[in-house]
Amino acid sequence: MEIRNLGSSGLRVSAVGIGCNNFGVRIDLETSRKVVHKALDLGITLFDTADIYAERGGSEKVLGEVLGSRRKDIVLATKYAKAMSDDGTKIGASRRYIMRAVEDSLMRLKTDYIDLYQQHDYDPLTPIDETLRALEDLIRQGKVRYIGCSNFPAWRIAQAQEVAKSINTHGFVSCQDEWSLVFRHNEKELLPCARAYNMGYLPFFPLASGLLTGKYKPGAAIPENSRFSKMPGQRTRYATPRNEAIVTKLQDFTKARGKSMLELAMSWLACRPQVSSVIAGATTEEQITQNVAAIGWKLTADDMAEIDTITLG
């Protein structure tokens, strides 16, 4: 497993990370344990979760239960800021809430510190300097090692980084957002912003909820127990005529080279300089094994140009 720096920081992460949003909701405790242990055996070190995953707290509880003594071997990333209650009291990035949210996550994760604490969404009600000062206190207390953001527009990231410089606090070392062969909108502003501030990019939904695995055929029945069958909203979002046409052309591209769609989707992201780790979820040990094996394809400049023609044309 290749290990990379997360942006300009000294934090080292595996080139393939595991998204833990399935733990505690799509798979039970024992299945989650098997997936986690297989990931560790294959050299995955980045485990990415959030306080809201699995019905608010479920994913963190599962990780806290199954990691045990292996906690020290991983980079544990979680998130705060999205609603953890329905009454509006557990949400956002105020000092008051952050101090409470981190303690709740530490308790569920059964750990004394979080390696990467990420703001899950921008909070328009809280001044960014208040947020950054609170996070700085957590770093000084040893409860958080590094901070990142997710789902921020590029200009908000730039604002946060400049404020961090002006008040002499730590800035975000990473940004996490969607990126895939059928979702390339973030290349216009977010990626250049991350590059300008030397932040690590952590792409999620690299397989577009399974569309880029090639298992869904246009006009064919949706496989049982697949993500599209259980989450029809994801099917509506990704299985558009445009995306299906792109997938068909990409399948021809991979077939001509003796590769799989999974290898293309993962390797295309892994070879991008700003990407520190490709975050992919998994519900089985087999999926973990496939994801790790899929980043070994070294795409050439000609390959990348042809992919651009297919996906951007």
What dihedral angle (degrees, nearest 10) is formed by the CA atoms of 42, 179, 216, 210?
Answer: 40
Dist. CA 184–CA 254, nearest whole Å: 19
According to DSSP, residue 174 is labeled E
Residue with tokens 């690299």: 206
Q: How far is CA 3 from CA 118, 276, 302, in A?
A: 20, 9, 26
What dihedral angle (degrees, nearest 10) is formed by the CA atoms of 258, 263, 264, 270?
Answer: -140
Contact (Cβ atoms closer than 8 angstroms) between residue 200 and residue 7: yes
Q: 289: buried, middle or exposed (CB in 10 Å: 19+, 13-18, 0-12)?
A: middle
CA 87, distance to chain mean position in Å, is 28
Query: Which of 53, 80, 97, 201 does the annotation list as catalytic?
Result: 53
Q: Is 97 a catalytic residue?
A: no
Q: Tokens in use for 150?
A: 């997710």
Q: Which amino acid is at 15?
A: A
Dist. CA 174–CA 116, nearest whole Å: 9
Helices then strands, counting H and E runs in the chain, come out as 12, 10
Q: Which amino acid is at 307?
A: I
Task: Give the containing element (helix H, strand E) for 310.
Answer: helix 301-312
Residue with tokens 């880029």: 212
Q: Tokens in use for 241?
A: 């005529």
Beta-carbon count within 10 A of 177 CB: 22
Active site residues per annotation: 53
